[in-house]
Chain A
Amino acid sequence: MEKRGRAGLLGNAILIAICLLWAVPAIGILVTSFRDSRDIFSSGWWTVFPHRAWLKVGEVRVDPAVDVDGPITVEGRTASFEQWREGVRVAADRKLQWYGNKRTRTLIVQELRWRGFSARLNLDNYQGVLSGGRVSFRNAGGDTITRLGNNFSDAVLNSIAVAVPSTLIPILIAAFAAYAFAWMEFPGRKTLFVIVVALLVVPLQIALIPVLRDFMKLRLNGTFLAMWLAHTGFGLPLAVYLLFNYISELPRDIFESAFIDGATPFSMFVRLVLPLSVPALASFAIFQFLWVWNDYLVALIFLGDKHRVLTSSLAAMVGEKGQDWHYLTSGAFLSMLLPLAVFFALQRYFVRGLMAGSVKG
């Protein structure tokens, strides 16, 4: 019964165009990351695909007897010097072009050939960016350059050490709090929850300077603990809000029957609430994991240069080593692997989390 007529065709065309627009930049970085360091600087990444391009195949000398100020005939074609300078196509796939000034009497022969089948593709960029030792590569001019690798494998470990606890700790703390807000009586319950809702959109810039001072005083700055605390603190409003919405909707009966059976609040939480809330916990977990893994600002300020995470390593490469572009590509792609995998594996939960909490600050 659907309307898949002309509008559908046009619609599909528009969608395909937009999707191409979306995919091409990412494909570009992926292709570039496999290219030889020399090629990256000297030609666009799209040249690795088979395409026809003009290629110099030889030279033709003009007879010294020919007057170069008049019409010149080469390979059966007659043209003025200016026209030869511009280049003349003598055949569909053959072009002659005058090289330099009139005195050179040299024409460069170019032929349109298929290229791209023998593009130099390798894993050198990945090796170089992951290594902590010295790596060497060749720049566009062909000179060999040796310098310290970027040690991305350490950055991957640091990112994991930051992201995993920064995801699980706020979930646990928020789940306990959400349970208390939903199913326990205590004074100030509503006021406190209103504060949580208000904090949802507070920009985290507001907290950076005071928290940094606290961390300095406690000598926590630059430690993983500081990162966990900061990410937990900043992620809690959304976590409590999301989990409260879910946990408060659990059926009352199960709590009552468990209570009659003599269960304590703690055991009810561990045996009933946590298992029943898995969908909500998963939604928030993916949300928070992507947020922490991709975070740059918090890592920049509280972790500094000692334990660089992936984002700060990448950003440092953009800033410090303009010439190491070939490492940027593999680095950027490596930093995307884990979040992309998590994202596509658990997309369903992620979408649900987005829907429930589209008010994050």
Chain B
Amino acid sequence: MEKPRRGLAVLGFSLLLLLSAAVLYGGFALLRSLSGSKIPAALLAVVWGIGSVVLLYYVLNRGAEMLPRRARRYLLPLVFAGPALALLFWFLVLPTLRTLWLAFFDETSTRFLFLRNFRFAFTDPIMLEGFRNNLLWMVFGTLFCVGLGLVIAVLADRSRWEKLYKAVIFMPMAISFVGAGVIWKFVYSYKGEAAGLQEIGLLNAVAVALGGRAQPWLLLGGWNNLLLIAIMVWLQTGYAMVILSSAIKAVPKELLEAARMDGAGELRIFTGVTIPSIRGTLLTVTTTIVIFSLKLFDIVRVMTGGNWGTNVIANEFYMQQFTYGQTGRASAIAIVLLLAVIPVMVYNLRRFGESRAFK
């Protein structure tokens, strides 16, 4: 009685396996043949992509459930966590090791150069320029994002129109960096001094209205970096504001009342009570934005392409790999980026260890 039933189940499962393999491959082949992405192709792609994943889990689980109880206990976690771990391994863990390996070789990945790529990454003038600019991004970008975010969060907290203010400041977070680049191109536009030309850039219009002269803003050494950073501030202040705002709202009311009873002024309360209470959140927001400005790529790529003294490390990575074909150098730059985030990684791990999420 027991034997034939199991045999039948195995047969059914094999059929299911075959069928799903056919669906997966058939969908892939079909999508490939449908060149020119029109509506049906896009729709089919979406359905096929998501459907395949659902099918995968369903089939794997069916397979695992057919096994005897003991084996099932060991296999089910593999079915549940396995795909995620496999992808993490393929897309993050293994590539990190491979990039480290590639960083020791030349552009064809055959000649061993040992540390020469790293010498480039740490001493080449273009990299030094990148380090300087990334430092500017990290210092000024973070300072303005967190500072403005904090000011807005505190002020809006007392205002009747808090929601409206916050929505306006938060709005750019939904916009792509490329889209933001387009928006700000129109702000920084410069047409030159030829007769009869009216400046169409907002910044130049303001400069002229204030009695100044139109400037090619993005070509001005030094200043252009700050003008690019302004774009990031425009995009990311909303993030700092939202997080800090909810931290401020969580400060116990009694604490504030007590300070007020003691006759402390609002400014004194802010520096003496509010700031210490949200110190942890401030630190988290700051590290997030620092990491963010370290990896910044899109704004510089779109606005200046890294020219006129605005290059950053992530753009140089892109240039080395995809413009100059210098895989070894690009890999070394990627490793430099990784090294730069290691302190934050350690901090995260330590905090995770303290949280005792796994008892």
Contacts and interface: CB of A to CB of B under 8 A. Distances in A.
Interface of A: 2-4, 7-8, 11-12, 14-15, 18-19, 22-26, 28-29, 32, 40-46, 154, 157-158, 160-161, 164-165, 168-169, 172-174, 176-177, 179-181, 184-186, 189-190, 192-211, 214, 223-225, 228-230, 232-234, 236-237, 240, 244-245, 248, 264-266, 269, 290, 293-297, 301, 307, 310-311, 314-315, 318-319, 325, 328-329, 331-332, 335-336, 339-340, 342-344, 347, 351, 354-355, 358-361
A157 B37 contact: yes
Contact of A201 (B45, B98, B345): B345
Given A23-B168, A179-B80, A225-B31, 17 more contacts: A8-B159, A12-B155, A14-B151, A26-B175, A44-B205, A161-B37, A181-B81, A200-B348, A205-B334, A206-B335, A224-B49, A314-B178, A336-B176, A339-B175, A355-B243, A359-B348, A361-B341
A340 B31 contact: no
Contacts of A11: 155, 158-159
Classify the interface of chain B: helix, strand, loop or mixed: helix
Nearest to A310: B176
Contacts of A290: 173-174
A331 B174 contact: no
Interface in B156-185: 156, 158-161, 164-165, 167-179, 181-185
A299 to B, nearest CB: 10
B242 interface: yes
Given A165-B45, A169-B53, A315 B302 contact: yes
Contacts of B187: 25, 28
A331 B201 CA distance: 19
A8 B158 contact: yes
Nearest to A10: B155
A329 B182 CA distance: 7
Contact of B50 (A168, A174, A208): A168
A149 to B, nearest CB: 15
A236 B84 contact: yes
Contacts, number: 344
Chain A CB within 10 A, most for which of B84, B156, B266, B291 = B84
B96 A201 contact: no
A12 B42 CA distance: 47
B3 interface: no
Given A176-B57, A318-B185, A209 B102 contact: yes
B88 A233 contact: yes
16 contacts: A12-B159, A22-B169, A26-B183, A43-B198, A157-B42, A158-B42, A161-B41, A164-B46, A179-B80, A180-B80, A208-B95, A211-B95, A223-B32, A296-B301, A339-B175, A343-B171
A90 B294 CA distance: 59
Interface of B: 28, 31-32, 37-39, 41-42, 45-46, 49-50, 53-54, 57, 61, 65, 74, 76-78, 80-81, 83-85, 87-88, 90-96, 98-99, 102, 148, 151-152, 155-156, 158-161, 164-165, 167-179, 181-187, 198-202, 205, 234, 239, 242-243, 246, 266, 284-285, 287-288, 291, 294-295, 297-298, 301-302, 305, 314, 317-318, 321-322, 327, 330-331, 333-335, 337-338, 341, 344-345, 348-349, 352, 357-358
B193 to A, nearest CB: 16
A184 B82 CA distance: 13
Nearest to A224: B45
Contacts of B41: 161
A205 B296 CA distance: 11
B50 A169 contact: yes
B174 A339 contact: yes
A180 B77 contact: yes
Contacts of B94: 210
A203 B334 contact: yes
B186 A28 contact: yes
Contacts of A332: 178-179, 182-183
A318 B200 contact: no
A45 B87 contact: no
A198 B349 contact: yes
Nearest to A189: B358
A283 to B, nearest CB: 13
Contacts of A325: 186
Contacts of A168: 50
Contact of A358 (B156, B205, B243): B243
Contacts of A199: 88, 92-93
Contact of B76 (A25, A198, A265): A265
Given A169-B50, A194-B352, A206-B96, A335 B335 contact: no
A354 B239 contact: yes
Contacts of A198: 345, 348-349
A154 to B, nearest CB: 6
A263 to B, nearest CB: 12
A154 B37 contact: yes
Nearest to B98: A210
A209 B183 contact: no
Nearest to A3: B158
B338 A203 contact: yes
A265 B76 CA distance: 8
A145 to B, nearest CB: 18
A32 B148 CA distance: 28
A358 B288 contact: yes
Contacts of A32: 186
A259 to B, nearest CB: 13
Contacts of A160: 42, 46
Q: Which 3 A-B pairs have the closest CB atoms?
A: A233-B91, A294-B176, A177-B84
A24 to B, nearest CB: 7
Contacts of B202: 24-25, 28, 44, 46
A341 B357 CA distance: 36
A125 B75 CA distance: 57
Given A205-B314, A294-B177, A329-B186, A340 B171 contact: yes
B53 A172 contact: yes
Contacts of B205: 44, 46
B155 A15 contact: yes
Nearest to B197: A42
A184 B314 CA distance: 40
B87 A229 contact: yes
